[in-house]
Structure 1
Amino acid sequence: MYSQYKLQNDTGLLHETASQTAGPFVHIGLALEIAGFESRSDEIWQDLAKADAKGEHIELVGHVYDGNGDLVHDALIEIWQADSDGNYISNFDNKQPFSGFGRSACAIDGDFHFHTVKPGPVDFDGKLMAPHVNLAIFARGINIHLQTRAYFEDEVTANESCPILSSVPSPTRRQTLIAKKEPSDGKPRYRFDIYLQGEGETVFFDF
């Protein structure tokens, strides 16, 4: 895959420029604590919701696997989502109770981890999308970040009527977009494992 940008050589012909991937050390500049550096004063990190944020507080966790089924330790995950009322935050401010945007690195054990609130349904051309979290995946070997969504297994009715989720034709493929609830000692925890290739590959979107 090549960049859309071109350079003109002496003959006047345009040739595609070379491309580069995002990794393998993207977390060094974007997740300083994981890389062993001191955090910035206004760090974008994995805690989207403070204690006084409105809504049901949850954890969203998961692994990223490559085509061989091995953990991708250098993946970086960004998420953005609506608040508990189904509204997106227009201006990022992590000093507010809920920021709507977060970032987590998988550099230690291959696990990403977010503290957030369960989003509300979002309007889409007059129809309601089921509660979901948008994810962007950056990692070695990926020229352009991948985009997917995590829906919640306990939102069965909303999932069935969601115009985006229902547009995925195969029930088996739709299951790759469902975060599963798992036991936890505190707030509800949902697991959403991402498979970059191979059997069970996660559905990725081209928004």
Structure 2
Amino acid sequence: MTKQLLPETPSQTAGPYVHIGLALAAAGNPEREVEILNRLAASEAAGEHIRVVGRVFDGNGHLMRDAFLEFWQADSEGSYQTEYRTENSFNSFGRAATIFDTGEWELHTVKPGVVKNAAGVPMAPHINVALFARGINIQLQTRIYFEDEAEANAADPVLGLIEQPERRLTLVASRCTESPDTYRFDIRVQGDRETVFFDF
């Protein structure tokens, strides 16, 4: 009997199903009893509590109002929580969907501590981001760094891999003057000031 090779399943973009399955409230559906949401830190979590807000733009500069983001970060001491529990004061993983009318997403967390890479080199405080959206077959991976961590950013081994200094700035969130606990981080998928994405 000869073996039959099956054709590869065709890929497709995330479409609306990401929201229907993972961001139920954004899709107008009732939430499940346990949801992974955009609040990584409870009020009692140690560290500097911050809010990160942003929008996602396509190559034409238009808002992508149906984007979905996942976040992975260390706590304020530089440790990752490997098990998600609703009773934890801090969880390292979270999700956020853009609001359809404004195109804004937001994340409530604490500023992450310093983590060392595989070679033992300290990395600047950062949040890892995976972006899912229309027109994207495989999620895009990027990072959020913080403008008030200039010294740590200058020594960061990942930022140092980006040859053009102006391109590094696409990974740096700026603190909002009107709300000191809030940082803004807009993502540009293509075009002018395109965000740096990584192939992890």
Q: What TM-score, normalized to structure 1?
A: 0.90
| Cross-structure match for 2:156 | 162
Q: For structure 2, list consecutive stretches of 5 or more residues without a partner in the other structure.
A: none
Q: CA RMSD in A?
A: 1.7
What is the Cα deviation at residue 184 of structure 1? 4.0
Tell me the secondary structure at the aligned position of residue 36 of structure 2.
coil
Q: Would you say 1:139 and 2:133 are equivalent positions? A: yes
CA contact (8 A) 1:25 1:74 kept: no
Kindly provide the CA deviation profile for residues 154-194 of structure 1, in whole angstroms up to 9, marking residues without a partner as x: 00000000111111111011010000111344x61111000
Aligned residues: 197
Kindly provide the CA deviation profile for residues 90-140 of structure 1, in whole angstroms up to 9, marking residues without a partner as x: 111132100111111114221110100000010112210000000000011
What is the Cα deviation at residue 14 of structure 1? 6.9
Which aligned runs of 4 or more in structure 1 are off by greater than 6 angstroms? 10-14
What is the Cα deviation at residue 16 of structure 1? 4.3
User: Are residues 11 and 98 of structure 1, via their aligned partners in 2, closer, same or farther at CA, if it must alter by over 3 Å?
Assistant: closer
Q: What TM-score, normalized to structure 2?
A: 0.93
Equivalent in 16, 23, 27 of residue 24 of structure 1: 16
Instruction: Give the Cα–Cα distance (whole angstroms) in 2 for the partners of residues 73 and 26 of structure 1.
Output: 13
CA contact (8 A) 1:26 1:74 kept: no
Question: How does 1:66-145 map onto structure 2 within 5 Å?
Answer: 66-108=58-100, 109-124=102-117, 125-145=119-139
Give the counterpart letter for 1:165 in structure 2.
Answer: L
Q: Would you say 1:198 and 2:158 are equivalent positions? A: no
Tell me the secondary structure at the aligned position of residue 173 of structure 1.
helix
Tell me the secondary structure at the aligned position of residue 167 of structure 2.
helix
CA contact (8 A) 1:93 1:99 kept: yes
Q: Would you say 1:182 and 2:176 are equivalent positions? A: yes
Instruction: Give the Cα–Cα distance (whole angstroms) in 1 for the partners of residues 94 and 4 of structure 2.
Output: 45
Instruction: Give the Cα–Cα distance (whole angstroms) in 1 for the partners of residues 43 and 3 of structure 2.
Output: 63
Instruction: Give the Cα–Cα distance (whole angstroms) in 2 for the partners of residues 57 and 139 of structure 1.
Output: 28
What is the Cα deviation at residue 32 of structure 1? 1.0
Q: Would you say 1:151 and 2:129 are equivalent positions? A: no
- Identity among equivalent positions (%) equals 54
Q: Would you say 1:51 and 2:25 are equivalent positions? A: no
CA contact (8 A) 1:105 1:112 kept: yes
